[in-house]
């Protein structure tokens, strides 16, 4: 997984949002509630909501690199563009997200392209990594679902349920230990 200048607390908040959204797939109301809860938690910890958005972008990049990495057991023979298209189709077909997807899919596609194709944009926090308002916004919800679907693709390919969640949680634990050490 790539290095990141995003605070570990923001990455953890972004990952918590992804897991919460995954548990509520198909329900736009539940997704909005999940996003609002993350906003409240972030506010209480003094974490920037922009950092959580960048955290979501970093998660998309990191999760997709597991799919593409030839040494990883979850590797699939897919180009980055194929992964983006496959995930966006899943979002489009989700009945709870259909209206939100139609309105905000260009923003989410751009963020995914920055994350998966132009990885340097995520690592350097360059200006071409888009921000689209607060983390409770619809774009953040869609990007969180995108990260969930990429994790699901990893698990389906590897044949190991919840493998990706364990890998990501372990990686965040190691990062947190590194900042405390």
Q: How many CB atoms lie within 10 A of CB 79?
A: 11
Structural domain contains residue 93: yes
Structural domain contains residue 59: yes
Domain that holds residue 58: 8-173
Structural domain contains residue 181: no
What whole-number percentage of the chain has pLDDT above 70? 61
Q: Is the pLDDT of residue 56 over 60?
A: yes
Contact indicator for 87, 81 with CB cutoff of 8 Å: no
pLDDT at 17: 79
- The per-residue pLDDT of the chain, averaged, comes to 70
Structural domain contains residue 139: yes
What value does the mean pLDDT take over residues 4-28?
73
pLDDT at 64: 73
Contact indicator for 38, 47 with CB cutoff of 8 Å: no
What is the tally of structural domains in the chain? 1
Q: Which tokens go with 97? A: 């997200």
Q: Is the pLDDT of residue 160 over 60?
A: yes
- Cα atoms in the 13 Å half-sphere on the side-chain side of 104: 22
pLDDT at 176: 82
Output the CA–CA distances (angstroms, integers) from residue 73 to 108, 120, 144, 153, in the order listed: 27, 25, 23, 12
What value does the mean pLDDT take over residues 174-180?
79
pLDDT digits 0-9 by tens, 114-149: 767 665 444 544 444 454 444 455 667 777 888 888
- Cα–Cα distance, 62 to 56 (Å, whole number): 10
What's the DSSP call for residue 5? Answer: -
Structural domain contains residue 32: yes
């Amino acid at each position: 997984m790539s290095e990141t200048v995003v605070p570990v607390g923001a990455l953890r908040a972004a990952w918590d949002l992804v897991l919460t959204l995954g548990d509520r797939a198909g329900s736009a109301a539940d997704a909005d509630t999940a996003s609002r809860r993350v906003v409240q938690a972030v506010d209480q910890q003094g974490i920037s909501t922009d950092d959580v958005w960048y955290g979501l972008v970093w998660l998309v990049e990191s999760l997709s690199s597991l799919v593409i990495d030839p040494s990883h057991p979850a590797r699939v023979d897919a180009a980055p563009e194929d992964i983006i298209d496959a995930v966006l189709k899943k979002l489009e077909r989700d009945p709870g997200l259909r209206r939100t997807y139609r309105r905000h899919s260009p923003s989410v596609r751009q963020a995914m392209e920055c994350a998966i194709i132009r990885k340097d944009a995520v690592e350097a926090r360059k200006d071409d990594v888009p921000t689209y308002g607060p983390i409770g916004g619809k774009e953040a919800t869609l990007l969180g679902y995108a990260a969930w679907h990429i994790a699901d693709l990893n698990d389906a390919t590897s044949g190991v349920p919840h493998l990706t969640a364990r890998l990501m949680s372990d990686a965040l634990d190691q990062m947190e230990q590194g900042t405390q050490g």
